[in-house]
Chain A
Amino acid sequence: MTSTTRADQPAVSEGARVAGEPGGERQAVLTIRDLKTQYRTDEGTVKAVDGVDLTAYRGQTTCVVGESGCGKSVTARSILQLIDHPGKITGGRIMWQPDPATEAVDLTQLDEDGERLRRVRGGEIGMVFQEPMASLSPMYTVGSHLMETIQLHSDLNEADAKDRAIYELKRVGIPQPERRFDNYPFQLSGGMCQRVMIALALSCDPSLLIADEPTTALDVTTQARILDLLHELQAETGMSMLFITHDLGVVAEIADDVSVMYLGKVVERAGVVDLFENPQHPYTQALLESIPSRDHDGHRLDRLRAISGTVPHPAQRPPGCSFHPRCPHAMAGTCDVDEPPVLDLGDDRIAPCHLHNPETSGGGRPLPMLPVPPVPEARETPEVREQTPMPASKQPMLSVRDLTVEFPIRKGFWKRTVGHVGAVSSVDLDIYPGETLGLVGESGCGKTTLGRSIVRALAPTRGSIAYRAPGSDSEVDLADLSGRELRPYRSDVRMIFQDPFTSLNPRKTLLQLIGEPLQRAGSRNRPPAGKDVADSTIQDQVADMLAKVGLRPEYMRRYPHAFSGGQRQRVNIARALITRPSLVVADEAVSALDVSVRAQILNLLKDLQEEFQLTYLFISHDLSVVEHVCDRVAVMYLGQVVEQADTGSLFDQPQHPYTEALLSAVPQPDPHQRGGGRRIRLPDDLPDPTNPPPGCRFHTRCRFAVEGLCDRGDAPPVLQEETGHAVACLRAEEIELQGRH
């Protein structure tokens, strides 16, 4: 049955305008109409999904994108009736038609424990979840997981099922599938586990694969390979994909169709190219603008255009258009009263917004369109930048020399040390006053450990951390100090944590939290210039700082539970800055935040840097954010800095093969850049950090590695600086690497 035949059912005809699509007719495998899923809680009914229309076409990838709490996952789970207890599908239809020759089935009408739904689950529709480690049972081997699914959905005998399982493992690119068959999930890396999950989901040749944030928990290099794999498998089997993500870069990489969700509703549906080039809903526009992207004019000081506020809790949905409180184009009297009509914009696009409705917008207020991003020109060379980050005369504020942090591995009753994990080994790093130094690398490369040693949350094993307070000529080695001696420097070097939820003690008010460092006797608290010192009591200072980070001073009596993630991160920032530090280590400070809130926080950090003359060490795995905020970037691999340079020079002309691979793995929020032959994918996962490879630590994954040179343990590469661009590669001069252009 094609969608044209479905059009004679009046209830579904509205959204199913598929015939006459450019590119021929598309057949829907899954058509969701007006789906409503609600959670009944003590506080009232939460409408997690409120009238979603969604269509997945045969052989294509439909992306559902939105911030957290927008109902993406609940929509996906509703399809297979996998909603947790208080939740219930209260309306709508989910028409499932794996085979065009048969009649479509309404999945919402199936018995939850019935035979038919069991056949759909895992058999006809496969599902991949976000946390691969948590989705596999640690009690069973990879093989038994696969065998169970295969035997449940087919009548193969044991031997055939085993062959099939090994074939599936091979198909998802797992090396030595016969050996991996008998491994337990905890013996595999995260990327491998996700491959196993995909193998599981695909083992019964489903017609549709639902992937719920399948790459969010993975490193960017692993993510790139998983996305490639999904692409290949789709080309091979012709399955459809429903891909749920919050990352617009991933959307640009993989989607055919995109549905943007906001507060349980689809606010825009379009083809991927249309969506990125010509977004029609204010929310989509704002989302796209809040991604730090190189396609703005390349001017680093550009502020991101953040969406104000945060996504409200689904229980507190604003009346009218649910986006209107955050919408820059909201029209009073219309947007906050009436729900926007679903109007067809042609090309199978919808974007329910009052501005598209001639009756309400009066025709006089066309939606401001985003300019099509200009084709990036060759970026200006770094010296044209207004702020030359590193004048030769300047002395570093912090200079790290030969820093090594090792964690002992202890075994046995007496906890004898049997080995060491070298989280950071012999790192040299200079941080200059007023700059933002980025620190990037995959998880496990030691960037967090390095950051924590600099703030001295950890004691380094070896090496020095020389700190020079601004305006002073003497240096102090922070690595040598301990306990009480460190206290004066605790207020100079501060840290912003990643997780806004665990880093604030829920039992203290904001006043107690932010004021805590001030309460210590002897805290060197420089009053801000031009302020009367006498009235700077703790409370006033806290109120002042709250206002500076964009929170109302009245909030100081509140507890952290009353704040959203973004607001809590502001509290964290206030807490770090209350002592007027000179250096702030921001450890993945925006990684846990939604796109729109992330832009707010990045802007805030930038404003505060100017106001307080701060120096940042910005640790992140997200290269696009690093490119946006950092003056210089250091790339870490397995505890070592492999490349260090100005941001522009590093992104345009990387000199280390690892940097090149990292850059290439970052999905670009531009569907035109998809593919393009620049793909460099890293084989294998990170080597064992207890026993790093000899010679160049990267040689096991490097495409330029030469035997007898790179793997020689007696001559490891060292960081060599040349005109501000330092690289640790033995073949740096011979090899030709691609930048981001």
Chain B
Amino acid sequence: MSSQSTSIKPLPSEPDDQSADSYAAASRWRLVWRRFRRHKLAMVGLVVTILVYVIAVFGEVIAPYSNSHLNADYAYAPPQQLQIVDTSGDSWDWGLHVHGYTMERDPETLEQEFTTDPDNQVPVGFFVQGEQYELLGLIPWDRHLIGPVASDTPMYLLGADQLGRDQLSRIIHGTRISMSVGLVGVGMGFVLGILLGGISGYFGGRVDTIIQRAVELFMSLPTLPLWLGLAAAVPREWGSVERYFAITLVLSLVAWTGLARDVRGRFLALREEDFVTSARLDGTGEPRIIFGHILPSFTSHLIATLTLAIPSMILAETALSFLGLGLQPPTVSWGVLLQEAQNIRVISTAPWLLLPGAAVVIAVLAMNFLGDGLRDAADPYKH
């Protein structure tokens, strides 16, 4: 070997070899993560999204009450404030508690009126014993992250609904359905989109023409009436689980089109890339070119697209359920909860019934921030 071709030595100005090596040997995901970390808003989005999904998975532990817990005495009970210090007595008493209610019925309107009563203290504790449930559907347990120490005393941190069900618990239980409808719906759309878009982009020609026209047909359908129609076609007698899957299927039917186009465009572009040609010249087979070279080149983009697609799914589910055509009680989702806030008079007396809407906003915003950050960081090789 000649002297000058072996003279590629690390540049003297290069930082010490270890840190250079950690960059040089960093895989794409590490590079994506490095760039993603700089995106503050996206990091906030990531943390919130993780929190929301933790709530979705461990809903029974976190919620003070079960889904079906009700106490008609406390219909439309207003939110209580969580207190730490009791100053009503002479000395300060430390201890988590809420103030209980005193109920009066308005003699003229016959409306139930609640006032909080500082003397009536309801002690609150962490990991208190409450109703029995099965954690993750497997482990029987009866502890709740937060709840009244005596399980028959009232605690409504976010108020109660018309049947005296705890709004906080209901929102927490609804998280699971609402957040997973997005995932499952997008997941199904994802499979359809990648499959059809990939076929369309890789093979091109007439197959491409047909698939693309199909995509355009689906895109031209007005989505809301389509959803309404399909959701209305779901038989009334189906149980909540069947209905749930029917709804996600309906949602994903429309969701794949945009993804299919995206995937097709990327296939078309990458098919002509030099590194794909060179892989072909290495004698690499078609499946390995597709799954080993082309697909990995845009997985990070796909993940970003997916993250951005989930919020629209959540919104769609919320909208459908709000209209009464999506999930039906007793299934609890944010959309189902919002159904109860359809009446303006109800809202004026119990505005806290709108709180599931706030949950939707937080979840959707967080996932959008996360998706934006991912999209910006998705291609670490472009500068």
Contacts and interface: CB of A to CB of B under 8 A. Distances in A.
Interface of A: 42, 303, 306, 308-310, 312, 316-318, 325, 336, 413-415, 452, 455-457, 486-487, 490-491, 494-495, 497-499, 502-507, 509, 516-517, 520, 523, 547-552, 555, 557-559, 561-562, 567, 570, 575, 600, 603-604, 607
Nearest to B283: A490
Given A505-B293, A550-B7, A558 B25 contact: yes
A163 to B, nearest CB: 45
Contact of A312 (B1, B11, B38, B279): B11
Interface of B: 1-2, 4-9, 11-14, 20-21, 23-28, 31, 38, 205-206, 209, 273-275, 277-284, 293, 296-297, 380-381
B297 A309 contact: no
Given A325-B12, A559-B25, A603 B281 contact: no
Contact of A550 (B1, B24, B28, B297): B1
B2, B209, B274, B282: which has the most chain A beta carbons within 10 Å? B282
A506 B14 CA distance: 21
Contacts of A506: 28, 381
B25 A550 contact: no
Nearest to A517: B282
B275 to A, nearest CB: 4
A208 B53 CA distance: 63
- A-B pairs with lowest CB-CB distance, top 5: A562-B24, A550-B5, A503-B274, A316-B13, A490-B283
Given A561-B381, A603-B5, A502 B284 contact: no
A569 to B, nearest CB: 12
A516 B282 contact: yes
A550 B6 contact: yes
A320 to B, nearest CB: 10
Contacts of B31: 561
Nearest to B24: A562
Nearest to A494: B281
Nearest to B382: A506
Contacts of B2: 303, 603-604, 607
Contacts of B293: 505
Contacts of A562: 20, 23-25
A516 B279 contact: yes
B12 A509 contact: no
Contacts of B284: 516, 520
Nearest to A317: B13
A457 B280 contact: yes
Given A507-B296, A561-B381, A517 B283 contact: yes
Given A490-B283, A507-B27, 4 more contacts: A325-B12, A486-B283, A502-B273, A520-B284
Contacts of A457: 277, 280-281
Contacts of B14: 316
Contacts of B277: 452, 457, 497, 503
B1, B4, B20, B273: which has the most chain A beta carbons within 10 Å? B4
8 contacts: A42-B38, A303-B2, A308-B7, A520-B282, A523-B283, A550-B1, A603-B2, A607-B2
Nearest to A484: B285
Given A308-B7, A505-B275, A505-B297, A491 B13 contact: no
B25 A607 contact: no
A81 to B, nearest CB: 23
B23 A507 contact: no
A310 B14 CA distance: 13
Contacts of B279: 505, 516
Contact of A549 (B5, B281, B296): B5
B288 to A, nearest CB: 9
A456 B277 CA distance: 10
A584 to B, nearest CB: 11
Nearest to B38: A42
B25, B274, B296: which has the most chain A beta carbons within 10 Å? B274
A310, A502, A504, A549: which has the most chain B beta carbons within 10 Å? A502
B58 to A, nearest CB: 36
B8 A550 contact: yes
Nearest to A552: B8
Nearest to B275: A505
Contacts of B297: 505, 507
A608 to B, nearest CB: 9
Contacts of B280: 457
Contact of B283 (A452, A491, A561): A491
A317 B26 CA distance: 24
A561 B22 CA distance: 12
A520 B11 contact: no
Contacts of A308: 4, 7-8
Contact of B25 (A312, A494, A517, A557): A557
B13 A490 contact: no
B296 to A, nearest CB: 5
Contacts of A604: 2, 5
B5 A413 contact: no
Nearest to A319: B13
Contacts of B282: 490, 516-517, 520, 575
B275 A502 contact: yes
B24 A551 contact: no
B15 to A, nearest CB: 8
A504 B206 contact: no
A486 B285 CA distance: 12
B7, B31, B206, B283: which has the most chain A beta carbons within 10 Å? B283
A547 B1 CA distance: 9
Given A550-B5, A559-B26, A455 B274 contact: no
Given A517-B283, A603-B4, A309 B278 contact: no
A1 B279 CA distance: 63
A623 to B, nearest CB: 24
B324 to A, nearest CB: 43
Contact of A551 (B8, B25, B273): B8
B2, B9, B27: which has the most chain A beta carbons within 10 Å? B2
Contact of B278 (A507, A550, A558, A575): A575
A42, A517, A557, A567: which has the most chain B beta carbons within 10 Å? A517
Contacts of A503: 274-275, 277-278
B38 to A, nearest CB: 7
Contact of A325 (B11, B206, B209): B11
Given A505-B293, A505-B297, A517-B283, A309 B7 contact: yes
Nearest to A557: B25
Nearest to B8: A550
B281 A499 contact: no
A548 B277 CA distance: 24
A555 B21 CA distance: 9
A570 B6 CA distance: 11
A499 B272 CA distance: 13
A332 to B, nearest CB: 12
Given A317-B13, A506-B381, A549-B5, A497 B24 contact: no
A517 B8 CA distance: 25
B281 A490 contact: yes
Given A309-B11, A325-B12, A561-B31, A600 B278 contact: no
Contacts of B11: 309-310, 312, 316, 318, 325
Contacts of A600: 4-5
A309 B8 contact: yes
A562 B15 CA distance: 13
A561 B23 CA distance: 9
A603 B380 CA distance: 33
A603 B20 CA distance: 28
B274 A499 contact: yes
A607 B278 contact: no
Nearest to A579: B282
A607 B1 contact: yes
A559 B24 contact: yes
